Structure 1
Amino acid sequence: MSVNELSSNESPSQELLLTPLHALHVEMGAKMVPFAGYEMPVQYALGVRKEHIHCRQAAGLFDVSHMGQLRLHGANAAKALEALVPVDIIDLPVGKQRYAFFTNDQGGILDDLMVTNFGDHLFVVVNAACKDQDIAHIQTGLPNDVLLEVIEDRALLALQGPKAAEVLARLNPAVGQMVFMDAAAIELLGVECLVSRSGYTGEDGYEISVPAADAERLARQLLSQEEVEWIGLGARDSLRLECGLCLYGHDIDTTTTPVEASLLWGISKPRRADGERAGGFPGADVILDQIKTKDVACKRVGLLGLSKAPVREGSRLFDADNNEIGVVTSGTFGPTKGQPVAMAYVQSDFSSIGTEVFAEVRGKKLPMVVEKMPFVPQNYFRGK
């Protein structure tokens, strides 16, 4: 999405919610826009491009408190959640996090989410725009011995970039021992926070669930470090796109299956192999058949622009004979890559790496080539 798209995706008459850090964003001169029912910072004084580059080179701080934070309590919590996702939740180790997605009976994706096993409960983070429907979806058929808790009193911060570990370790050295997808309850500034070594930029970093009352104090402490700058939604979008990460409602939705979305890696092997835990999630018959036959009409691919002009969401794609073959779902100019990057769905015959396609932009057909994602390397810390 472009900054303009980010700032115009909701009715201006809608009453917007505020995160616990709203006043701090205004104080820092953020440009605030409607997003997923909240008033959110799209950029700061640096501007989107410089914020993007700063996060790649040092450390960026993101307010993602609009996301839904949930807890599932009970001995059968993992079993109950596993019935809704094609992911292994039962065997998720304590102190580990896993990417998952809810599916519908047609195999489409209702939302994507992160699930963490904290031992005495599962901690779930869902997308802001989907959280009400996700809560209802989880509650439907939830066994009596499993309790869903909607967390209303915590903010969520993301500290991302190659200097993130160095910065956060000044508050508690224990974070330096974590590797990608580790999670733990860690004290920061005397407050217990839920910290995972993960994020949405492709860089090393952390996501920090902090009590709302302490969020501003933690944010100010992090911002006082010379490596750290606030980063808005605009750069968050270009960062995740360069690293091949999907945005729900754009690159994946109820009309796209995980196989069409090239998310086969997100379906745990025990849920797709022959065995007692294979299937058992909504749309399993459709999804498992697509895995077996490899028969899908379209595929999500990465595209690199061969001209300077960015290709935005909604641009139609054509082959060399002017036949329409797909549509762009996310697109921007990649500041790190130095050329236009996009995600799109194309007919399967045009999904091979190196295939040339043409995007229609203002009446012109601009050449693009199917490229393996991520467009820039992911720098997750997996240990030395």
Structure 2
Amino acid sequence: MHVQQQLVIRIFLYFHYRSWEHFNVMLKETPLYQFHLDLGGKMTVFAGYRLPVQYRHGIIHEHLHCRTHAGFFDISHMGQCLISGDEAAGELERLTPSDIAGLKSGQQKYTVLTNDEGGIIDDIIITRIASGFIVIVNAACKEKDFHYLASRLSAHCHFVELTDQALFALQGPASAAIIRKFSAHTADLPFMTAHETELGGIKCTISRSGYTGEDGFEISVPNKNAVALADLLLAEPGVTAIGLGARDTLRLEAGLCLYGHELNETVTPVEAGLHWLIKKGCSDFPGADKINRQSQQGPERIRVGLSVDGKQPVREGSAIVNSDNDAIGHVTSGGFAPSLGKPVAMAMLDRNYSTLDTRLYAKVRERQVAVTVTRLPFIPHHYHR
């Protein structure tokens, strides 16, 4: 069964990550490209970059290793920028539904950029540092986001894309003990805080954050020091390199949204189940009228978790129907959950069918697969509070 599960995940990821960008000769590489090849990385194309989808031991091994030990992720394809100036806090707050001005130095906020219809342009991380705000955006949205930010910010703000910085993640229950060997203060950071420090003499900015549901850190480091820092961390017992495949199954189990799946420019944060990031009383950000109305009255549709009967995975785009075969939603992400040993999915559903334990059906080819609305996340989060 283990081999069959590996095959199911590989087939899913082939279709999940394939792109017309395979035919684009102008593909980008992170500073660790050759490093991944030397580690036996199986490369794929994602968001215009050549990145490892898995290494020699496979996706399930990498996934379970991150849940039990520590995983090293190269996420340098994501965008990083610095926004500074006396008006930066207020202007960023007017582009998101969250409290940005209230952030103290070293604090982070997960939030979204919204459009005038309340849809999500991208989900982002904003970190306040001494010189301004670091903003991390998704790789596939990088050009769009940076153009949007630069065009919406006034002359009172200074926008700089940080093209000379790589970005890593160290995730898993052993990550704090590993970081403590190099920086005790970093190992004591609370969740969603950051500071500047050194690891093995290499200057970097580290936050207590990540997108796997596990405790962990994200590390921004100059490109020139990327390989040295990767070598340093991977030399530690219990650390293994992890590719895009396991990164995706980890975030799915953790019930976390992925842009282009659960989030897009037609989905509001309330519909995506992200109502908790909306600042109470905030009304001057794009799409505020619709988003605040949904917060008060409830949305017509909402993101839910689905437990899948049997071993047949349900994929993104599969229709969800009720017992009368009426279409009431669609799957946004789905696949095999290695920690649970079974398929799971997230879906956008008519709110009338979103009650826990509601029995529904996913259409897979000519078959109907029974599913049950279940609580998110599928596994508990282990963030360091």
> Taking structure 1 as the reference length, what is the TM-score of the superposition?
0.96
Preserved CA contact (<8 Å) 1:85 1:100: yes
Match of 1:326 in 2: 329
Gaps of 5+ in 1: none
Take 2:380 and 2:253, find their aligned partners in 1: how far apart are those partners?
9
Preserved CA contact (<8 Å) 1:10 1:35: no
Alignment of 1:53-64 (within 5 A): 53-64=64-75
Equivalent in 281, 297, 300 of residue 297 of structure 1: 300
Match of 1:3 in 2: 13
Matched, 1:194 2:205: yes
Matched, 1:34 2:45: yes
Take 2:239 and 2:90, find their aligned partners in 1: how far apart are those partners?
40
Runs ≥4 in structure 1, deviation > 6 angstroms?
Answer: none
Take 2:20 and 2:223, find their aligned partners in 1: how far apart are those partners?
26
Q: Secondary structure at the match of 2:29?
A: coil
Take 1:313 and 1:339, find their aligned partners in 2: how far apart are those partners?
16
Alignment of 1:21-100 (within 5 A): 21-100=32-111
Amino acid paired to 1:86: P
Take 1:220 and 1:203, find their aligned partners in 2: how far apart are those partners?
22
Take 2:295 and 2:168, find their aligned partners in 1: how far apart are those partners?
36
Preserved CA contact (<8 Å) 1:113 1:124: yes
Take 2:150 and 2:75, find their aligned partners in 1: how far apart are those partners?
24
After the TM superposition, which of the residue ranges 3-12 and 39-48 deviates more from structure 2? 3-12
Alignment of 1:73-222 (within 5 A): 73-222=84-233
Matched, 1:375 2:385: no
Amino acid paired to 1:209: S
Match of 2:6 in 1: none
Give the superposition deviation at 1:297.
2.1
Preserved CA contact (<8 Å) 1:6 1:234: no
Preserved CA contact (<8 Å) 2:21 2:48: no
Percent identity among equivalent residues? 46
Preserved CA contact (<8 Å) 2:197 2:203: yes
Amino acid paired to 1:335: P
Q: Secondary structure at the match of 2:268?
A: coil
Preserved CA contact (<8 Å) 2:317 2:330: yes
Amino acid paired to 1:297: E
Preserved CA contact (<8 Å) 1:56 1:162: yes
After the TM superposition, which of the residue ranges 352-361 and 134-143 deviates more from structure 2? 134-143
| Count of matched residue pairs | 374
After the TM superposition, which of the residue ranges 102-111 and 167-176 deviates more from structure 2? 167-176
Take 2:342 and 2:51, find their aligned partners in 1: how far apart are those partners?
27
Q: Secondary structure at the match of 2:121?
A: strand
Alignment of 1:248-287 (within 5 A): 248-269=259-280, 273=281, 278-287=282-291
After the TM superposition, which of the residue ranges 85-94 and 182-191 deviates more from structure 2? 182-191
Give the superposition deviation at 1:5.
2.4
Match of 2:239 in 1: 228
Give the superposition deviation at 1:309.
1.3
Match of 2:3 in 1: none
Amino acid paired to 1:370: V
Preserved CA contact (<8 Å) 1:242 1:374: yes
Amino acid paired to 1:330: S
Take 1:324 and 1:72, find their aligned partners in 2: how far apart are those partners?
44
Amino acid paired to 2:214: E
